[in-house]
Structure 1
Amino acid sequence: MTDRHSSLHSAIESRTAQIGVIGLGYVGLPLVRTFVQAGFRCIGFDLDSRKVAKLAAGESYIGHLPDSWIKEMVSAGKFAATSDMSRLAEADAILICVPTPLTDSRDPDLSYVENTARQIAKSLRPGQLIVLESTTYPGTTRQIVLPILEAAGLKLGSDFFLAYSPEREDPGNPNFSTQRIPKVVGGADPLSGELANLLYSQAVVQTVPVENCEIAEACKILENVYRAVNIAMVNELKILFDRLNIDIWSVIAAAKTKPFGFQPFYPGPGLGGHCIPIDPFYLSWLARKHESPARFIELAGEINWEMPRYVVQKVSDALNDAAKPLRGSRVGILGVAYKKDVDDPRESPAFRIIEMLEDRGVVITYHDPHVPVLPKMRHYRVPDLQSSALTPEWLAAQDAVLIVTDHTAVDYSLVVKHSAVVIDTRNAARGTNVRRA
């Protein structure tokens, strides 16, 4: 144990250590709140000056985080947001919560992680703990982040400390906020793991220390691949049962009455969010790199990736049954967020569906009570649209209404009553006579 380890250990225990969080999005900002509520002072770092300005003004840009909390923390001096990365030296622990997307060829894009590590290395000082939270493939922390940090001339375990702790954020889930979700923690060396475990134990309900950062990285991948594979299975069954004229929603409802050996997963228009659509491709990429087949994972990814195309075909079929061509028809999209009751559009299948429909000559409008304006997306051409009011007149003006996200605030009886055709990918209009994609 070094003097730097002892000093940081004491600062964490006394909660005098200052926490820096890089990336103030749907993962980073709730993490800030968790540590502030635990009694720590936090600095938030983000290159988006608009986010920094909003936070400085006490305004939230995430639906489930109220303005009142931000105003209170900022005015009390417990939280400050900045785009000045030189201030990283002020933090005793730095938590990295930056995106890990895919390239156009669906390979891992670690540019955000690498650039962030370089920014940290510029101001890295003895006695700091660095923790990567961004979802990634096993080996990233040790093989990518560590060499960048050590290039600054400091040594792991004696000068600075490094660990991995995967985020498990579930935006909009009222039962599991950040502080109520167990935190898996793995260090690049034993001292780093001990310090990271101590840090999170001050702020969350439970920590789960594991032997090293690779196990922690693989843990997050396993969690999300598990979900992706099971969703792919029900999506494939949805297509099969549709041809057999069997309602899969009724099948799942019956199956989940079994009190053991079955967990329900549900079909949908495609995967969305920051993890499940991406993580399987990270693992399959790693498998190819090590000349190990990952056919099961790749097949699941292919099935889920093709669901928007299946939905578009269902829209075409429904319009055809109404004696209308796809080209020139007006289709109203209900819900563009990636999951119900949140304002998070990341990787939402709605954007691929919109692009595919527009490519076929469809006139698109949309309604989403949580997403007032369609945001620009990395991989999709997004029309310049604002959310339409959910009125009988808007519904009646559409040749078809496509339910992509099943927000609770939507009156689905109103939708069914005033729409010529409804294609329901979420079973939101259950109990009504609608075509389900």
Structure 2
Amino acid sequence: MPLNTLPVTEGLRLGAAFETVPGRAAPAGPYAGAVAVVGLGYVGLPTALGLLAAGTEVIGIDVSAQRLAAIRAGNVDLLPSDLERLAEFDGDPRFTLTDDPAALARARTVLVCVPTPVDQHLAPDLRALRSAAATVVEHAVPGQLLMLTSTTYVGTTRDLLTGPLTERGFTVGEDIFVAFSPER
């Protein structure tokens, strides 16, 4: 059946998987485990809050001590619904905020959510992404899924994650896993 003729599921709402479900237990089975979100900006922080609402343990990592302090104080630029979620998860033991990259080793999944701004020629500035990817590779452990969510050009995942992981001795697709899921 051609893709454009697939039936639409009635009542399906985008984002439903991230809604808070009262009394919902943390995920179990093969998908259980903490998710580290590297970069707690306009993409990473709402992503972390959505994962928390779904019952997942989240390790939020940011290099900026000021950003972490602002998040702890609830003084961040979020949509009102996300500000409510942030207040809801204040003090929740499933939500760790840190600037210590060693915390990456505790995560089953690592989402890299750092900005890739473009210059006046629309060329991406990859400095933050290169730094974050190098840190993630340095602290990677077997069995993890490392997912790049920053929007960038074809080959960046290979250049910044799979290549360096192979150099570290990992076999990508066997003992560590890599994915690319850009946010735009």
TM-score range, shorter chain: 0.7 to 0.9
| 1:263 matched residue in structure 2 | none
User: For structure 2, which runs of at least 5 residues remain unmatched after alignment?
Assistant: 1-27
Runs (4 or more) in structure 1 with deviation over 4 Å come to 103-106
Match of 1:10 in 2: 29
- Say if 2:50 is the partner of 1:34: yes
Match of 2:25 in 1: none
Matched, 1:19 2:35: yes
Q: For the Cα contact (< 8 Å) 2:115–2:150, is it kept in 1?
A: yes
With over 3 angstroms needed to count, the CA separation of the structure-2 counterparts of 1:52 and 1:137, relative to structure 1, is same
1:120–1:149 contact (8 Å) kept in structure 2: no
Whole-angstrom CA distance in 1 between matches of 2:78 and 2:109: 27
Letter of the structure 2 residue corresponding to residue 93 of structure 1: T
CA contact (8 A) 1:96 1:133 kept: yes
For 2:37 and 2:131, the matched residues in 1 are separated by: 15
**Selected match of 1:151 from 152, 162, 167:** 167
Q: In structure 2, the residue corresponding to 1:144 is in which secondary structure?
A: helix
Q: Contact 2:117/2:124 (CA < 8 Å) preserved in 1? A: yes
1:111 aligned to 2:111?
Answer: no
Task: State the SS of the aligned residue for 1:107.
Answer: coil
Q: Determine the structure 2 residue equivalent to 1:75.
A: 91
Q: Residues 103 and 55 from structure 1, CA distance in 2 versus in 1: closer, same or farther, beyond 3 angstroms?
A: same
DSSP 3-state at the match of 1:93: strand
Can you list the C-alpha shifts for 1:131-160, whole angstroms capped at 9, x where unaligned?
001011122112332112222221101110
Spell out, residue by residue over 1:165-190, the C-alpha distance to the aligned partner (whole angstroms, 9 max, x if none). Answer: 1214xxxxxxxxxxxxxxxxxxxxxx
Is 1:88 aligned to 2:104, yes or no?
Answer: yes
Superposed CA deviations along residues 194-223 of structure 1, whole A, max 9, x for unmatched, are: xxxxxxxxxxxxxxxxxxxxxxxxxxxxxx
Q: Alignment partner of 2:66: what SS?
A: helix
Whether the 8 Å CA contact 2:137–2:161 is kept in 1: the answer is: no
Secondary structure at 2:174's aligned position in 1?
coil
Greater RCO structure (CA 8 Å; 6+ sep): 2
Shift in Å, 1:23 = 0.9
Percent of paired sites with the same residue: 36
Query: For the Cα contact (< 8 Å) 2:146–2:179, is it kept in 1?
Result: yes
RMSD after superposition: 2.0
How many residues are treated as equivalent by the alignment?
A: 156
Q: Tell me the distance in 1 between the aligned counterparts of 2:57 and 2:41.
A: 18
Give the structure with the higher percent helix: 1
Shift of 1:105: 5.7
Could you tell me how far 1:18 is from its partner in structure 2?
0.4
Alignment gaps of 5+ in structure 1 = 1-8, 169-437
Structure 1 residue 54 and structure 2 residue 73: aligned?
A: no
TM-score where L is the length of structure 2:
0.76
SS of the residue 1:159 aligns to: coil
Mark the structure with the bigger radius of gyration.
Answer: 1
Match of 2:136 among 98, 120, 124: 120
1:21 aligned partner, one-letter code? V
1:35, 1:63 → 2: CA distance? 16
Q: CA deviation at 1:130?
A: 0.4
Task: Evaluate the alpha carbon distance shift between residue 84 and residue 64 of structure 1 in structure 2; reply closer, same or farther with a 3 A threshold.
Answer: same
- Which of 78, 102, 111 is the aligned partner of 1:63? 78
Assess, with a 3 A threshold, how the Cα gap between structure 1 residues 74 and 153 changes in structure 2: closer, same or farther: farther
Determine the C-alpha separation between the residues in 1 that align with 2:108 and 2:75: 26
Matched-pair contact (CA < 8 Å) for 1:98–1:112: yes
What is the TM-score normalised by the length of structure 1?
Answer: 0.34
1: distance between equivalents of 2:144 and 2:75? 29
Q: Secondary structure, in 3 states, of the residue corresponding to 1:74?
A: coil
Q: State the secondary structure of the residue aligned to 2:182.
A: coil
The aligned counterpart of 1:136 is 152
Q: Name the aligned partner's letter for residue 63 of structure 1.
A: L
Matches of 2:134 and 2:51, distance apart in 1: 25
Distance 1:31 1:103, change over 3 A: same
1:288-437 to structure 2, matched below 5 A, reads: none
